[in-house]
Structure 1
Amino acid sequence: MRYQNTYVKLDTRLYHRQPPTPLENPRAGHFNNQVAQQLGWADDPDLMARWVDIIGGQYVPTQFEPLAMAYAGHQFGQWAGQLGDGRGLLMAQVLDNNDQLQDLHLKGCGLTPYSRMGDGRAVLRSTIREYLCGHALTQLGIPSSNALGFVVSDTPIRRERMEAGAALMRVADSHVRLGHVEWIASFAPDLLSEFTDYMIDTYYPECRDSEKPVLAFLQAVVQRTARMIADWQLTGFAHGVMNTDNLSITGSTLDFGPFGFMERFDPAWINNHSDHSGRYTYQNQPAIGHWNLNVWLPHFMRLTQEGVTRDSLAECLAPYEPTFMQHYQQGLCRKLGLPHQSDSLTLAFEFLTLLEDNLLDYTNSFRALLGLVAADEHPYEQQLLKIMIAELSDEARQVWQDWSTRYLAQIQQPSSPTNDQVVTDLKTNNPVYVLRNSMAQHAITAAEQGQFEEVARLFELLASPYTVQDIATDLDSRPPTPNAPQLPISCSS
């Protein structure tokens, strides 16, 4: 691998250097060969032979320079003070096959100075959920951390019950969070200029060509964050814990805790059992992204020599809403196979209303449109359509009939794409499979008995989410029964 350990060269107040604390008897859970190829890991026989020992914390390659990052954050809208890597270590940074810097971050590696009341460990269930979700989002085309692999061990971990300790090697284009700047502003303000230069030079070098690089960088972070959250909304993904310490400066999804993919469409669904007020529901994610950035940006007011003023920061934040709306609306139209125009948007929002009013399955309902547009060539989607219609009341069925008639008429308009293009758009923008909670739980239950075949099957299934696959089971596309509550997920990991 091509190591480029840059973070360790920064001021030592920003991190604590330490090796991982080994797990007891680590064993292979699953290994991501695609990520290994991307990183160049697969080209190193020693890394390949000892990946279990490395992720289990028993062996640290000589070119790794492990450290725990310090950062702070706002959690559930309240200032939480110093946080930091309480169970993770940035093990190394490398250039991948696309010359993109990637962090190798070991999660579940033991206590650090930032562990607070935690034990520095991770349990198998949360490790599997993160491993599969990072993979799922990546294959859906949504910027996200991924993972090289995970291990399980004999180290006992107490949560609500005793569980097996596990560890995951997370791979991300950055682990610098909004909370890093919050920490610097509170505990080491003299580092702000140096750290801002690092963020620009490392992650946004194109901003150096701007007349005011810092302002260009801030606006770029705002726009990337807006596009990421629009992608979440389009796929029905709810992050569940959008604290400022859980948002990356690169606009890549980071920190999978109580996440959930929307099944029956309820935008107000609370998927995090600790979110008593519903702050981080699916429908609130765009507004929370704006809130987080609005908290983050004023810390740069110290950089007055870089042209940062209250007015210039407002200008940096201003593109958030139009960027989000454009990306989301364009994506929503593509999910219908229609051009981005007012008639298409009217149909799209009416379809979402139909889904919400009748608690229809989000993923299946969009995919079922293929069964309406080209039923003969898509028997799977035709069956989804029949199931969807069967769940409608007589009144709702009439609403559907009216909508589908206008939708098919819109497709035939001269301004619309050809029928073949509509079919292509429907197939490439509406996945067949997302990581439903029931799917993840089925794999976790088997893994806790030492059986990882279901993890491997789901990994293969989610590698091609837009294609109907023979390895799929009914569970992979089955929503909860109508009106059954969608269970929230625990934050404990």
Structure 2
Amino acid sequence: MKYHNTFSQLDPRLYHRQPPTPLDSPTPVHFNQNLAKKIGWSEDDDLMQNWVDIIGGAYVPKGFCPLAMAYAGHQFGQWAGQLGDGRGLLLAQVIDNTGKLQDLHLKGSGLTPYSRMGDGRAVLRSSIREYLGGHALTQLGIASSSALGIVTSKTPVQRETIESGAALIRVADCHIRLGHIEWIASFAPDLLKPFTDYMIATYFPDCLSADHPVLAFLEKVVKNTARLIADWQLIGFAHGVMNTDNLSITGSTLDFGPFGFMERFNPAWINNHSDFTGRYAYQNQPAIGHWNLNVWLPHFMRLSGISRQGLGEALAHYEPVFMQRYQTGLCDKIGLPHDEDSLGVGFDWLTLLQDCRLDYTNSFRALLALIAPDDFTFEAQLLETLNQEIENQGDKARQSWQNWQSRYQALWQKLPQEEVINRLTANNPVYILRNDMAQRAIIEAEKGDFNEVARLFELLSQPFKVQDIATNLDITPPNHDAPPLSISCSS
């Protein structure tokens, strides 16, 4: 690998150097061969032969420089003070085969000075969810961390019960969070300028030629965050814990906790069972992204030449960038160009999904069977199920569905059929990581069988393609009368 450990050269107040604490008898669960190739890991025999011990914390290869990052943050809207890598270590930074900087971060590495009341460990169930969740988003084309590999062990970890300790190496383009600046502002304000210079030079070098590099950098962070959250909304992804310490400056999904992919469409869905007020409900994510940036940006007023007006102008980009990305994406998802008529039909489609509690992913994919039923037999089955569910809800739902189809047909028939089909297939996956899919893999893994983890990893590698390895359970939403599923923060 081409090591480029620049964070470890920064002021030592920003981190604590330490090796990982080894897990007891680490056992391989799964390894991401394609990611290993991308970052150059697969080209090193030492890394390939010892990957289980590396992730298990027993072996630190030459070139690694493990450290725990210090940062702070607002959690559920309240200032939480100093936080930091309480169970993770930045192992190394490398240049991948595209010339891009990547962080290798070990999660479940043991206690650090920032562990607070935690034990520094991760458990198998949450590690599997992050491993598959990051892979799913990445293959859907959404900016996200992914994971190189995952191991389990005989190390007991106390959560609600005694569980198996596990670990994974997360690979992301950046692990600097909004919370890093919050920490600097509170505990080391003299570092604000050099750290800002580092962020610009390392992650946004094109801003160096701008008239005001810092403002150009802040504008990019704002826009990247807006685009990421628009992408989440379009695919039906809910992060669950959008604290400022969980958002990356590069606009890449980071820190998978109680995340989930939307099944039956409910904009008010709360997927974190600790979110008692619904702050991080699916429909609130765009507003929370803006809120987080709004509390982050004022710290830069300490820098020369940064005014409140300049920060306001940077933040003002958030809403139009989000709306452009989301509205264009919604039109793409129904196979139509971005215009007023398409938007009206798109938003009415979402209303129909919500009123009838239809499955978000299946319903969008089923539209292909309205356009070319003879060419999309799988999607025709999805459409048949959709029709039956609407039929079961009575005359009002049936009439709304018929009216919508008429309006939709009037628009798509004006376009070349191939154009509509290409938009639909490119923007609507067949497979997402449904909660029951992840849970089945976890149950088998806890018995020592990792075949379902491997199958789901392969399935999610091509989410837009109908695959033979899929089962009906991979496309089956919860029953209509099933309560909304929320996930524990315990991990």
C-alpha distance in 2, partners of 1:357/1:104?
A: 44
State the match for 2:141 in structure 1.
Answer: 141
Q: Deviations over 1:399-450 (max 9, x none)?
A: 111111111110122xx4x101111110110000000000000000000000
Task: Select which of 326, 329, 336 maps to 2:327.
Answer: 329
State the match for 2:300 in structure 1.
Answer: 300
The answer for unaligned runs of 5 or more in structure 2 is none
- Aligned runs of 1:79-228 on 2, under 5 Å? 79-228=79-228
C-alpha distance in 2, partners of 1:225/1:118?
A: 29
Secondary structure of the structure 1 residue equivalent to 2:200: helix
State the match for 2:413 in structure 1.
Answer: 412
Is structure 2 residue 397 aligned with structure 1 residue 396? yes
Secondary structure of the structure 2 residue equivalent to 1:144: coil
State the match for 2:278 in structure 1.
Answer: 278
Task: State the one-letter code of the partner of 1:266.
Answer: N
State the match for 1:235 in structure 2.
Answer: 235
Q: CA deviation at 1:261?
A: 0.3
- Aligned runs of 1:454-473 on 2, under 5 Å? 454-473=452-471
Q: CA deviation at 1:79?
A: 0.1
Secondary structure of the structure 1 residue equivalent to 2:455: helix
C-alpha distance in 1, partners of 2:398/2:434?
A: 27
C-alpha distance in 1, partners of 2:288/2:138?
A: 23
Q: CA deviation at 1:483?
A: 2.6
Secondary structure of the structure 2 residue equivalent to 1:167: strand
C-alpha distance in 1, partners of 2:294/2:387?
A: 43
Secondary structure of the structure 2 residue equivalent to 1:286: helix
Q: Deviations over 1:112-171 (max 9, x none)?
A: 000000000000000000000000000000000000000000000000000000000000
Q: Identity over aligned residues, as a percent? A: 70
C-alpha distance in 2, partners of 1:68/1:149?
A: 20
Q: Could you list the runs of 4 or more consecutive aligned residues of structure 1 that deviate by over 6 angstroms after TM superposition?
A: none
Q: CA deviation at 1:397?
A: 1.3
Task: State the one-letter code of the partner of 1:479.
Answer: P
Task: State the one-letter code of the partner of 1:370.
Answer: L
The answer for unaligned runs of 5 or more in structure 1 is none
C-alpha distance in 2, partners of 1:216/1:449?
A: 51
C-alpha distance in 2, partners of 1:309/1:276?
A: 37
State the match for 2:7 in structure 1.
Answer: 7
State the match for 1:486 in structure 2.
Answer: 484
Secondary structure of the structure 2 residue equivalent to 1:368: helix
Contact 1:359 1:483 in 2 (8 A): no
Is structure 2 residue 367 aligned with structure 1 residue 366? no
Is structure 2 residue 343 aligned with structure 1 residue 342? no
Task: State the one-letter code of the partner of 1:152.
Answer: T
Q: CA deviation at 1:328?
A: 0.4
Task: State the one-letter code of the partner of 2:189.
Answer: P
- Aligned runs of 1:23-42 on 2, under 5 Å? 23-42=23-42
C-alpha distance in 2, partners of 1:246/1:122?
A: 17
Secondary structure of the structure 1 residue equivalent to 2:347: helix
State the match for 2:475 in structure 1.
Answer: 477
Task: State the one-letter code of the partner of 1:397.
Answer: R
- Alignment RMSD (CA, Å): 0.5
Task: Select which of 316, 326, 331 maps to 1:318.
Answer: 316
Task: State the one-letter code of the partner of 2:438.
Answer: A
- Aligned runs of 1:372-383 on 2, under 5 Å? 372-383=370-381
- Aligned runs of 1:228-267 on 2, under 5 Å? 228-267=228-267
Secondary structure of the structure 1 residue equivalent to 2:165: strand
State the match for 1:435 in structure 2.
Answer: 433
Secondary structure of the structure 1 residue equivalent to 2:463: coil
Q: TM-score, with normalisation over the residues of structure 1?
A: 0.99
Contact 1:338 1:411 in 2 (8 A): yes
Matched positions, count: 488
Secondary structure of the structure 1 residue equivalent to 2:374: helix
C-alpha distance in 2, partners of 1:294/1:113?
A: 29
C-alpha distance in 2, partners of 1:352/1:82?
A: 41
Q: Deviations over 1:237-276 (max 9, x none)?
A: 0000000000000000000000010000001011001000
C-alpha distance in 2, partners of 1:371/1:118?
A: 50
C-alpha distance in 1, partners of 2:64/2:321?
A: 38
C-alpha distance in 1, partners of 2:332/2:209?
A: 34
C-alpha distance in 1, partners of 2:467/2:398?
A: 30
Secondary structure of the structure 2 residue equivalent to 1:113: coil
C-alpha distance in 2, partners of 1:339/1:362?
A: 20
C-alpha distance in 2, partners of 1:161/1:287?
A: 36
Secondary structure of the structure 2 residue equivalent to 1:16: strand
